[in-house]
Amino acid sequence: MSSFTAPPTAEVLADDHLLAAWLADAAGKRLLEVRTEGLEGKALKDAGDRAAHDLLVQLLAAYRPDDAVLSEEGKDDKARLQADRVWIVDPLDGTREFSEPPRADWAVHVALWTRTGPDAGDLSAGAVAQPALAGAVEPSTFHTGAAPQVPPRTSDRIRIAVSRSRPPAFVEALAAELDAELVPMGSAGVKMISVVRDLTDAYVHAGGQYEWDSAAPVAVARAAGLFTSRVDGSPLRYNQDDVYLPDVIVCRPELADRILAFIEKNGTGA
């Protein structure tokens, strides 16, 4: 367990939103520790993936022992399909950026899917930690218990978050259609949370992701009042038998119709 991780308070244990944030914080702090261990390249990537996964699994076993877990770094236990509560986690989203200190555009995703209750069959809580934003110890974490309400757009020009290495051609065409600028950045979660943070106005992706890539940031984005869907406008569904969930839109509500209309007319090429 990370030396920074104190046991959760009774208030945190009683609230799934706060627990998701606490878990993401804990994994983020552990990842910051790993970054100080003198590793580089693939060794650093592998150590980060392993350390954050092991910690999250350990903490969930301790504090939510009856819940199922779906993790990018773990074996997919299909018993989750009959479970009432499933934690969907990406222990380290943006492994490449994590391995390039001092880059900050990587994240920890922790989301909860529930079968019953107000959010039956959907995400009910989520948190995204961006540990390197806040310095050496304290991660900056965005969560559904206190999601920021996105203010009116502060940029005169629409901003679309894209991969810093391989922006898809259809997004470049979309940007031309909307007279938008492309804003390169790292992990998928960082891109989605950038809309929550009013650093960008939209993130549109097609061509390959899994449930853990989007669950937590989508939960936070929804809580913040943003529009979320697949690129055809259909709902994003989680805790499915096939965890491949290749496309997503997260954007300001006023942009959704224009983005969906463009994709319906032109496709994504995926």
State the Cα–Cα distance between residues 198 and 169, nearest whole angstrom: 24
Radius of gyration over every alpha carbon of the chain, rounded to an integer in angstroms: 18
| Domain end among 144, 176, 210 | 144
Please tell me the pTM assigned to this model. Answer: 0.94
- At 150 the pLDDT is 83
Q: Evaluate if residue 27 carries a pLDDT over 90.
A: yes
> pLDDT tens digits, residue range 147-156?
778 888 888 9
Residue 4 lies in a domain: no
Same domain, 125 and 25: yes
> pLDDT tens digits, residue range 80-89?
999 999 999 9
CATH number of the CATH domain containing 214: 3.40.190.80
| Domain end among 109, 144, 179 | 144
State the Cα–Cα distance between residues 252 and 150, nearest whole angstrom: 8
Q: Which of 139, 140, 105, 109 has the alpha carbon at shortest distance from 213?
A: 109
| Domain end among 119, 144, 169 | 144
> Domain tally for the chain?
2
Q: List strand residue ranges (DSSP E) for 167-255, in order.
A: 181-185, 202-205, 227-229, 248-251
Residue 220 lies in a domain: yes
Same domain, 20 and 134: yes
Peptide bond into 253 cis (omega under 30): no
* CB proximity list for 36: less than 8 A, separation 6 or greater: none
DSSP reduced 3-state for 143: strand
Give the range among 108-112, 180-184, 198-202, 205-209 with minimum mean pLDDT. 205-209
Question: Residue 165 sits in which domain range?
Answer: 159-266
Residue 150 lies in a domain: no
Question: 159 pairs with which residues across the strands?
Answer: 181
Residue 176 lies in a domain: yes
Residue 130 lies in a domain: yes
- What does pLDDT average to over the chain? 93
Amino acid at 79: A
Q: Evaluate if residue 2 carries a pLDDT over 90.
A: no
Residue 2 lies in a domain: no
Please state, in angstroms and as integers, the Cα–Cα distance from residue 25 to each residue in 30, 72, 110, 257, following that order: 9, 18, 10, 35
- At 154 the pLDDT is 83
DSSP state of 149: P
- Where do we find the tokens 């390959």? 208
- At 137 the pLDDT is 45
* Cβ-based neighbour number of residue 78 at 10 Å: 10
Burial of 218 (0-12, 13-18, 19+ CB in 10 A): buried
> pLDDT tens digits, residue range 105-133?
999 999 999 999 888 899 999 999 999 98
Same domain, 110 and 163: no
The pLDDT-based confidence of 1 (bands split at 50, 70, 90) is very low
**Higher-confidence residue: 1 or 99?**
99
Q: Evaluate if residue 5 carries a pLDDT over 80.
A: no
Question: 90 pairs with which residues across the strands?
Answer: 109
- At 135 the pLDDT is 55
Q: Evaluate if residue 17 carries a pLDDT over 90.
A: yes
Residue 35 lies in a domain: yes
3-state helix, strand, coil in the chain (%, to 5): 40, 20, 40
* Cα 265-243-91 angle, rounded to 5 deg: 110
Residue 152 lies in a domain: no
